[in-house]
Amino acid sequence: MKRKFLFVLLMSLMALVLVACGGGAALECDDPIGCVEVAPGDPIVIASALVISGPDAQLGLDSQYGVEIALDFQGELLGHPLELQPEDDGCVAEQGQAAAQKIVSNPQIVGAIGTSCSGAGVPASKIISDNGYVMISPSNTAPVLTDPETHEAGYLRTAHNDKVQGRAMAEFAYNELGIRRAAAIHDGDPYTEGLASVFRDEFTALGGEIVAFEAESRDATNVEPLLTTVAAAGPEFIYYPVFTNLGALITKTAKEVDGLEGVTLAAADGLQSPDFLEAAGAAAEGMYASGPDLGFANETYDRFQEAYLDKYGSEPLSVFHAHAFDATNMLLDAIEEVAQQGEDGTLLIGRQALRDALYATSNFSGITGTLTCDENGDCADPKIAVSQVQDGGFVAVWP
């Protein structure tokens, strides 16, 4: 009798153990670079690494808001809440590196949206990739980041490649404005130098002449010597795809340098923000800027704009908010595709499987267009527009 009682007790205990374990086999990670395990009820954590402070903050905050709205629209995923860990890339290499280090120090982060600036993206993409994570940038545009020789395995982007933007601005200057003599200025950053270089090459290929190709420190406080040198070369057009402080200084000083009277000024997406317009003041009136075409005609963008205004109290601050929204949704879709689910709600997300799913993205319907990723991480449906500052605001004028 005693032996029978012990047998029944043992069977009961085993049944309790099976119930506690969900009654099924435990999830096992067989991913070659590891997995993220999300316990029942815990959030799925993603990170952002965007410039959210300093003179270029509006560029990154605009993207940050795009990420947050995407998470709001999603609500939860596979029965788990979504959590965002925001980091600041500072729009410089050092802070991009620091942001990436913080991200990879948290094993619960599944993937990241960032960086804002290509200069931050170069070191960040290496750290992210070397540690098995994945990152999708909404606004890095430097060609070097998706060049087959320098591309990092965990890096993708929804922003255009500046091979497209540089060509578009060259065509606008040469064909639409009739410019034949142009100058270009950069600050040595991968974004600014890369875009200026593409413009130079494409403008020359069209038959134009680059009379000056100059570099200036991002922290410069006096650009009169630079612009005096440029003026001596006799350009009709100056393209300076730089950031807020240097861009405003060049714009204002160009109005005061002999020999630049009547010269057309043009910049790029790094200057398309209210902060630049305020810093440059009246000197910006009439200048041009290249950047992504924001003529998104779809219901999702209408809903997005309403949410942006309701949540943040303003119109979009810059030009990559929709690209950030699309990047976030691409990441969420890939997580949903590859996550293994336990009977108790546990998730197991393979890091290589997640990368593979993102690179396999094809005909993804986003606000910015239909996105398909290539083997080097370029996913954009690239459409470039040129805007002009009219009455203190950017107005699209081409195409």
- How many other C-beta atoms can be found within 10 angstroms of the C-beta atom of residue 369? 18
And the tokens for 55? 């003179």
For 59-111, what is each residue's pLDDT tens digit? 999 999 999 999 999 999 999 999 999 999 999 999 999 999 999 999 999 99
- The residues, ordered by sequence, that sit 6+ positions from 76 with a Cβ below 8 Å of its Cβ are 82
Q: Please report which confidence band the pLDDT of residue 4 belongs to, taking 50, 70 and 90 as the band edges.
A: very low
For 216-249, what is each residue's pLDDT tens digit? 999 999 999 999 999 999 999 999 999 999 999 9
For 343-399, what is each residue's pLDDT tens digit? 999 999 999 999 999 999 999 999 999 999 999 999 999 999 999 999 999 999 999
Task: Calculate the CA dihedral of residues 251, 256, 259, 264 and round it to 10 degrees.
Answer: 30
Using the predicted structure, report yes or no on whether residue 1 has a pLDDT greater than 70. Answer: no
* Most distant pair of Cα atoms in the chain: their distance: 110
Q: How far apart are CA 151 and CA 126, in angstroms?
A: 9
And the tokens for 24? 């099924």
3-state secondary structure 314-350: CCCCCCCHHHHHHHHHHHHHHHHHHCEECCCCCEEEE
For 388, list phi and psi in degrees, rounded to 5: -125, 145
Q: Which domains does the chain possess?
A: 35-159+296-383 (3.40.50.2300), 163-286 (3.40.50.2300)
- How many other C-beta atoms can be found within 10 angstroms of the C-beta atom of residue 395? 9
Please say whether the beta carbons of 46 and 82 come within 8 A. Answer: yes
Handedness of CA 349, 353, 355, 358 (dihedral sign): negative
Q: Which helix (H) or strand (E) holds 83?
A: strand 80-88
- What does pTM read for this prediction? 0.91
And the tokens for 31? 């991913």
